[in-house]
Structure 1
Amino acid sequence: MSDLPFGFGLPDRDDEGQDKDPARRGQPADPFGFGALFGGAGAGAGNPEELLAKMPLFAELQKLMNWSGGPVNWDLARQGAISQLAAGHQPTSEAERAAVAEALRLADLWLDQATDLPSGVDRALAWSRVEWVEQTLPAWSALIDPLAERVVAAMTSALPQEAASMMGPIAGMMGRMGGMMFGAQVGQALGKLADEVLTSTEVGLPLAPSGAGVLVPQNVEEFAAGLDRPIDEVRLFLALREAASQRLFAHVPWLRQQLTDAVHAYARGITVDRDAIERGIAEAMGGMEGGIDPSDPETLQRLLPALEPEETPEQQMALRRLETLLALVEGWVDTVVAAAASQRLPGYAALAETMRRRRASGGPAEQTFATLVGLQLRPRRLRDAATVWAAMGQQRGPEERDRLWSHPDLLPTSEDLDEPMDFVARQGMDDELSALTAEEPPAKPDDEDKPDDKPDDEAGPSPA
């Protein structure tokens, strides 16, 4: 899957820290996409004017420039994504909607025997690519707006006072163009996602309205075209994954918020080194006659490295928590789908392996979080999480396995996933210890059953 330039994540680098794209090596890093604003090296998709030139939006340019609805211009994002999809877009047919509904109905019946969590799907939907964009925008807005807002705030608040006065024109332009820039980048990313995403939960979060199970028939058909399996079988396999994800998010009420909070915790940690900014501005201005010229893109591009945020230990903790939660969700889905389908669906093993390869090569979830927060989801972490859930189901039963979702503190931590079988073994030991230390009724004193007063005939002699 191609890169998804949301414009927030860290650049794609190899194990030695070198940019994987040779054409970008030696160029200043631009992890949050501000290069696109100035048409510099980081503008992989071109500047906003170039993007707009490819879209039929000229009549609404003034409206877009005057956007005041938040840090991301979602009107532009929507129109940009839909424009990108226009050439290959196919509306869903009545037959496709019926096939999706039947697949999700059958998937829920099979999952009833694999988990005690009840169905989370109360309606089945077949979305076109355009519908996927339009219907998921509220979820994307809730996830991305705090990131974009924090990026802009960190860049502007870290400017020294004297630099802020000099860069007033730049700050004003960034304020006017920021929402447009982010909107253009997010729109391009959503357009690429809509071309490939198969369900409403494939990015790792439920993007559809509550209770809606969703497949994208056009993408399902293209996905199945490269496999040696019947389309009905592929559709059912994907319906099982969608229905399993919906069960989990519907009946673990804190899960969605925990994932979102991890992303926002990363955003809260976005800071810029003031000393580095001062040095960067001094170096940038060293070769500038007459000071900073906000109308000169080359001048502005020279300032960008000074505005690059640095990742803090707190952000690294947020990323570990996010990776762990995403792996646990994916591992649980893999496990319950295997329990439901491995003996019923002829091509299950081949389809499961295809899905693993899709994730390993950069599926929607992997690329989404890589470009949003720089998180690289490790395939091994997903395997470790699946090992925990599979072993818990085999050794403790589905009910005990799913009981771990009853509270965040019961779930395996990142350290637990390093040794998944040790975590499973401790669950049995904890239960045995609890049984041994359970409170017993207090023992009665030896004389508790004796009456306080003796009968008169048993009384001793009266004192003299």
Structure 2
Amino acid sequence: MPEDSDDRRPEDELREMLQRFLSGEGPIDPTRLAGAAGMPADPAQLQALMAQLQAALSRTEDGIDWSAATRQASAAVQRDPGSVTSAERDAVRQAADLAALWLGETTDIGVAATELQLLSRQQWVDATMPVWQEMSEPVANSIASALTRAMQEHAPEEAQEMLAGAERILRNVGGTMFAMQLGTVVGQLARETVAGGDFGFPLLEGRGALLPVNLRTAAEGLEIPEDQVRIWMAVRELAHARLFHHARWLRLHVLSSVREYAEGIRIDVDRLEELAETFDPTNPEELRQALQSGALIPPKTDEQVETLARLETTIALIEGWVDAVTESATQRLPRRDAIAETVRRRRASGGPAEKAFGTLVGLEIRPRRLREAAAFWRAVTDAVGPQVRDSLWDQPDLMPGSADIDDPSRVIARLQGAGELDEMDLALQELLDDAERGAVEPAAGSEPADGEGPAAEEAGADEASVDEPAADEASADEPEPDDDADGGPTRA
């Protein structure tokens, strides 16, 4: 289209300018843009970056193209897909079968979730990407909007008309860049994770999964027989899956808390404006560092702090229960304590990809207070047994709180029925008392029937005194048998 065409729109000019840049004809070296996206600047990866950004330019709908994240994660996995022999897969299946037997001796919940899937790294990416997207989407939208505003506010006067009608294009490109960064992180996580429940979040809906290729890597260097590592990992993952299968409300509860927290994140526009004022288009490294360091995400609000505290308590209770149940179920493993401590330290420190996700989204995925939560569940188990312990997962309002983790005595007293009736018991008792009074008391204003009333009672008393021997005084004063004789009414 000729440059002097009257039909030329400003956003078309911007699109053509960006397309020239993406073709290598613009002022910025495309390899630097690849660095800003957190990608290696090898020719294949560079070509993929350019293709995905070109696709973002041509999209007619607004919003983030999350397929870019999946493609980027898949590309990262394909560089190191790993391989597993059939013998290794059989060994993991045997470990999973034994884990199911041992776990059945420790808890009855979620017995239907007894099978663990064996996933490759690519299969794990495909299965978990929807959850990573859900956790990241609020932040991605906030960053894309903030970048658009900053560019529009700090563009030269002659570029204002061009940018005025190009908000959708800018948002699409900015969102695609974020999605590609997320894909890179998830691709790295696929090389670190051993099981579906590794990160504390319910990434797989009601299912358990192991990655045999990463399980082998995790066992290397521990100086522990690999078969023991397989069994321990299988028990832990199966416990995680069974918990979420039993407490169907729990997954939505956790993910809703994550989204509530993430939607409260607002990009630090002042910091972004400072970056825009000093930004050198020939050196996108500064932008990459700002995104990866989390510098654009401001301190948490009071509401976010409260939401995060509740979320961390829930995750701690989940992980603590899983740890306590795993410890009990693996008593036959000679090196179970060494395996558990190794895994606990790995989860506490987190890998490079975990840290990258934390700075990218502003949410750490490492569970906190694991030791305290596991100690809480052990104390409850010792006091009331596993069946009563697991009843705390039946519904959300039974969930313990942070204070209960520190002092489980109140929860234990409640589970033991510490002599106090709950509200439902009190209401039921009141209904029974009312019914009993209605059965023995005559209605107001009614006349007693023949043979009833005070006169009849006196006559009956006189007859008893003549025809029956008098009872001794001790028997006369003894109260009638009462439901409370055993310490309280019998509860259904």
TM range (shorter): 0.7 to 0.9
Q: 1:78 aligns with which of 67, 70, 73?
A: 70
Q: How far apart are the structure 2 equivalents of 1:414 and 1:56?
A: 46
Structure-2 change in CA distance of 1:99 and 1:45 (3 Å): farther
Partner of 1:230: 225
Q: 2:325 aligns with which of 317, 320, 336?
A: 336
Q: What are the equivalent positions in structure 2 for 1:108-123 lying under 5 Å apart?
A: 108-121=100-113, 123=115
Q: What are the equivalent positions in structure 2 for 1:320-399 lying under 5 Å apart?
A: 320-342=309-331, 344-362=332-350, 367=355, 370-371=358-359, 373-376=361-364, 381-399=369-387
Partner of 2:433: 442
Identity fraction in percent: 36
SS of the equivalent of 1:116 reads coil
CA distances 1:103-127 after superposition (whole Å, capped 9, x unpaired): 2222111111111203353543222
More helix by share: 2
Structure-2 change in CA distance of 1:164 and 1:404 (3 Å): farther
CA distances 1:203-223 after superposition (whole Å, capped 9, x unpaired): 222333544x32111111111
Q: How far apart are the structure 2 equivalents of 1:299 and 1:234?
A: 42
Structure-2 change in CA distance of 1:209 and 1:175 (3 Å): same
Of structures 1 and 2, the one scoring higher in RCO (CA 8 A, sep 6+) is 1
Residue 220 of structure 1 pairs with residue 210 of structure 2: no
Shift of 1:329: 0.9
Q: How far apart are the structure 2 equivalents of 1:365 and 1:385?
A: 25
SS of the equivalent of 1:125 reads strand
Residue 261 of structure 1 pairs with residue 259 of structure 2: no
Structure-2 change in CA distance of 1:51 and 1:171 (3 Å): farther
> What do you get for the CA RMSD once the two structures are aligned?
4.3
Residue 319 of structure 1 pairs with residue 308 of structure 2: yes
Shift of 1:143: 2.9
Q: What are the equivalent positions in structure 2 for 1:44-443 lying under 5 Å apart?
A: 46-48=35-37, 51=40, 53=42, 55-56=44-45, 58=47, 61-67=50-56, 68=59, 72-121=64-113, 123-153=115-145, 166=160, 168=164, 174-208=170-204, 210-211=206-207, 213-272=208-267, 276=270, 281=273, 308-342=297-331, 344-362=332-350, 367=355, 370-371=358-359, 373-376=361-364, 381-417=369-405, 419-428=406-415, 431-434=418-421, 438=426, 439=429, 441-442=432-433
Partner of 1:16: none
SS of the equivalent of 1:206 reads coil
Q: How far apart are the structure 1 equivalents of 2:171 and 2:379?
A: 52
Residue 452 of structure 1 pairs with residue 448 of structure 2: yes
TM-score between the two structures when normalised by the length of structure 2:
0.69
Shift of 1:57: 6.3
SS of the equivalent of 1:394 reads helix
Contact 2:239 2:326 in 1 (8 A): yes
CA distances 1:264-283 after superposition (whole Å, capped 9, x unpaired): 11222123577x47xx8599
Structure-2 change in CA distance of 1:54 and 1:358 (3 Å): farther
Structure-2 change in CA distance of 1:421 and 1:161 (3 Å): same
Shift of 1:294: 9.2
Q: How far apart are the structure 1 equivalents of 2:361 and 2:290?
A: 22
Shift of 1:398: 1.1
Q: How far apart are the structure 1 equivalents of 2:422 and 2:155?
A: 66
Structure-2 change in CA distance of 1:63 and 1:185 (3 Å): closer
Bigger-Rg structure (1/2): 2
Q: How far apart are the structure 2 equivalents of 1:364 and 1:254?
A: 31
Contact 1:388 1:424 in 2 (8 A): no
Structure-2 change in CA distance of 1:209 and 1:255 (3 Å): closer
Q: How far apart are the structure 1 equivalents of 2:439 and 2:378?
A: 55
SS of the equivalent of 1:442 reads helix
Contact 1:97 1:125 in 2 (8 A): no
Shift of 1:330: 0.6
Q: How far apart are the structure 2 equivalents of 1:168 and 1:325?
A: 45
Q: How far apart are the structure 1 equivalents of 2:256 and 2:169?
A: 31
- Select between 192-201 and 133-142 the one with higher mean Cα deviation: 133-142
Q: How far apart are the structure 1 equivalents of 2:198 and 2:246?
A: 18
Q: How far apart are the structure 2 equivalents of 1:55 and 1:120?
A: 45
SS of the equivalent of 1:78 reads helix
Shift of 1:402: 1.1
Structure-2 change in CA distance of 1:449 and 1:416 (3 Å): closer
Partner of 1:6: none
Structure-2 change in CA distance of 1:272 and 1:74 (3 Å): closer
Structure 1 unaligned regions, length at least 5: 1-38, 288-292, 460-464
Structure-2 change in CA distance of 1:122 and 1:54 (3 Å): farther
Contact 1:197 1:216 in 2 (8 A): yes
Structure-2 change in CA distance of 1:257 and 1:448 (3 Å): closer
CA distances 1:216-262 after superposition (whole Å, capped 9, x unpaired): 11111111111122111111100001100000111111111111111
Q: How far apart are the structure 1 equivalents of 2:178 and 2:199?
A: 20
Q: Which amino acid aligns with 2:76?
A: Q
SS of the equivalent of 2:319 reads helix
Q: How far apart are the structure 2 equivalents of 1:377 and 1:60?
A: 28
Structure-2 change in CA distance of 1:272 and 1:59 (3 Å): closer
Q: How far apart are the structure 1 equivalents of 2:240 and 2:391?
A: 16
